Chain A
């Protein structure tokens, strides 16, 4: 309990007024350049267009995208890629975050910086490196073929290539989130577990892992949403044969000029992502409680 507040000494305006004034610019930015535009896109997604004739507003565009075989495949592929990426990146990232946890000051900071480089360089730049690495006759594939492990192997244009690059793209985010979460577990708690006779694996499964579940949830959400919304990886390594919702949105917008279907694909991606993450979060929370 604080006896005096700053406002009472300053006496110019009340706490609530000050809070409102300070929050207005950010909320205004959010509403004007994200909220309203999304409403516009939603309304546009309900309208008829060059391909589909109906009297709007109606959900025909959504029905079309989810029931036409070709587009339904795109939707399923988007979810599958995000799911596989998350399932691969989480254990890989958890193990790395767990090992990095023990690093002290300077070494820890350097390790974290190493992980932020790819984030700061940006996905477009990173993907140029991947295209060289995964190309036919590239440094990763030609040794495998020379060794006789594969007679013919092609990665560019396959889902495997997209998954490899997506895992690399989301790993730094996953590790940074889990590292923060693992660092918040006090050393004394772990020492106490050891002193009470817990083996290393008992200590991990009964103390460390349960205490890091919040970080596991956040990093799952981050990994899944980053993978589902990635544009650069599926565009360059999946190509036209492996369209996802993001590359489909671009195709509708810049190639077939169907802004209503582009809008429907965009809202579909957003809603699908949020719905899947909400279900996952609910299941995860129930699982933690039991």
Chain B
């Protein structure tokens, strides 16, 4: 009976993981398959679809734009989230939970609504679809993820260490630099990485906010996919999948970050 239950449990876990991960496996399969249309059966290994990406400089330019937007958005999100999280946990202000909930609201607002709102707002104040507006909405969207990770880190942080440093004559600034930030580094690094990736792969937030000069990688992929979906798009997607996988593994290995707790 126990044995049967264990087998059933293992089978269930395998089926659900299969369901969740299957689309990613299929993308990698298509990207290394000879066949030029999909769905198709296996016709042999090839790297030609990855090579084909190089003939489309627009994807490489867009990847660089995405990296710039994601980098700036992640830095802004982590800095403001760290300051806010620190104040919320350290000083426990009145209505602290209300403020925390308020800072989490970007998660509840549909991303396409954020995009539309920023488009109409930008038209009024006249900043149009330049990079600054794009960075700002990406930062707002990813900030809750940074705040979550910072709050988790701060929950285990011992503030008495700061009092010790200050008591020994350290200034506020050097206490932060030599005590607070080094101890909280894992949450900060994890927050930054998550924010960067979530911004990099995001489509709906940017949907109405790009022009040909500020098109991000998902936007250029989206535009390309309007006319056709081919193995080259799968190859680009595979690169994203592999990078995301490597980054997560690296975080787990080097920082021993617990993704959930």
Contacts and interface: CB of A to CB of B under 8 A. Distances in A.
Interface in B210-261: 218, 221-222, 225, 229, 233-234, 237, 240-241, 244-245, 247-249, 252, 258-261
A113 B252 contact: yes
Contact of A168 (B19, B39, B88, B113): B19
A123 B163 CA distance: 45
Contacts, number: 252
Contacts of A96: 12-13, 16
A231 B118 contact: no
Interface in A1-60: 4, 6, 9-10, 12, 15-16, 18-19, 22-23, 25-27, 29-30, 32-34, 36-38, 40-41, 44
Given A126-B24, A132-B26, A25 B79 contact: yes
**Interface residues of B: mostly helix, strand, loop or mixed?**
helix
Contact of B244 (A25, A121, A232): A121
Contacts of B12: 95-96, 99
Contact of A40 (B120, B202, B244): B120
Interface centre among A12, A37, A123 (most CB of B within 10 A): A37
B91 A18 contact: yes
A29 B136 contact: yes
Interface residues of A, number: 82
A273 B194 CA distance: 26
Nearest to B147: A26
Interface residues of B, number: 90
Given A109-B252, A232-B203, A266-B117, A274 B108 contact: yes
Given A95-B12, A99-B12, A171-B16, A262 B116 contact: yes
A249 B30 CA distance: 32
Q: Which of A6, A137, A250 has the most CB of B within 10 A?
A: A6
Interface stretch (B45-53, B55-63, B137-145, B181-189): B137-145
A155 interface: no
Interface in A153-172: 168, 171-172
Interface string A102-113: 000000010011
Please classify the interface of chain A as helix (H, G, I), strand (E, B), loop, or mixed, using the class held by over half of its residues. Answer: helix
A171 B20 contact: yes
A89 B190 CA distance: 27
A33 B137 contact: yes
B120 A41 contact: yes
Given A37-B120, A38-B117, A246-B110, 6 more contacts: A23-B88, A38-B109, A122-B201, A133-B39, A176-B260, A266-B116
30 contacts: A18-B87, A22-B83, A23-B83, A25-B79, A26-B147, A29-B76, A30-B106, A33-B137, A34-B117, A37-B117, A38-B109, A38-B113, A40-B120, A41-B116, A96-B16, A99-B13, A114-B17, A116-B259, A120-B198, A125-B24, A128-B225, A128-B233, A128-B234, A132-B39, A135-B38, A179-B260, A246-B110, A250-B112, A262-B116, A273-B108
Interface of A: 4, 6, 9-10, 12, 15-16, 18-19, 22-23, 25-27, 29-30, 32-34, 36-38, 40-41, 44, 92, 95-96, 99-100, 109, 112-133, 135, 137-139, 168, 171-172, 176, 179-180, 183, 225, 228-229, 231-232, 246, 249-250, 253-254, 259, 262-263, 266, 269-270, 273-274
